[in-house]
Homo-oligomer: A and B are copies of this chain.
């Protein structure tokens, strides 16, 4: 599988060019190449992708619905920033959803689907071995998303999609320097339990797994607020 797969089924097929842009922006978020606070100018994006603002606007609105960008009237779109309290809520929501997902997966998942998930784990380890943290993080997210998709509830899967992408933003905003967001051995263990149909164990492992991710984030505000350095020295402005 190539580096830039379709990132889980994002909806229907046969869509317009907005779908392409959406995928690219979404993937960039999942790989943390777009970090919270980044401004997404309609004109810039339009020129970048060779489309008019109409298309860009559609994409930005969709991303805003998903919660990964914030749009404020007359002030445009930025990659969403997450407060510490919101981060707590995201992990709580993930736990509620993913425990249900795991329960369903233990009953509904097929052998070939399980095989696919194992392949993702292997791919993720490979990326991590190559120090490609962005790709590893995206693959980790995709594992959770495919698991949800295979559990047989498209609504839970769709919701989890927005939670996982938001998690990427949270990690980008808060995580300490050492970045190993999802211990891959845990992924493997969860899949083992699901494959064995051991619902109780799978649920327990998934709960612990999410707790571990949450434990890694550091609630001190790492965002550069109106920088002190900016107050004392006129810093340059990018682009």
> How many whole Å from A86's CB to the nearest CB in chain B?
7
A96 and B65 contacting across the interface, CB-CB below 8 Å: no
Q: Is A153 an interface residue (CB 8 A)?
A: yes
Residues of B within 8 Å of A65, CB to CB, are: 62, 65-66
Q: Knowing A16-B73, A96-B96 touch, does A89 contact B163 (C-beta < 8 A)?
A: no
Partner of A62, one of B12, B61, B73, B152: B61
B73 and A156 contacting across the interface, CB-CB below 8 Å: no
A156's nearest neighbour on chain B, judged by CB, is B93
Give the interface centre of A12, A72, A93 by most chain B CB atoms within 10 Å: A93
Counting contact residues on chain A (CB < 8 A from B), the size range is 20 to 34
> How many whole Å from A208's CB to the nearest CB in chain B?
18
Residues of B within 8 Å of A72, CB to CB, are: 12
Partner of A153, one of B58, B93, B153: B93
0/1 string, A90-122, CB within 8 A of B gives 1: 101100110010001000000000000000000
Query: How many copies of the polypeptide does the oligomer hold?
Result: 2
Q: Is A218 an interface residue (CB 8 A)?
A: no
Q: Is A232 an interface residue (CB 8 A)?
A: no
> How many whole Å from A146's CB to the nearest CB in chain B?
17
Q: Is A233 an interface residue (CB 8 A)?
A: no
Residues of B within 8 Å of A15, CB to CB, are: 73
Q: A70 CA to B193 CA in the complex, in Å?
A: 37
Q: Is A4 an interface residue (CB 8 A)?
A: no
17 more A-B residue pairs beyond the given contacts A65-B66, A155-B163, with a C-beta to C-beta distance below 8 A: A12-B72, A14-B73, A15-B73, A58-B61, A61-B61, A62-B65, A67-B158, A86-B154, A89-B152, A89-B153, A89-B155, A90-B155, A92-B156, A93-B159, A96-B100, A97-B97, A155-B162
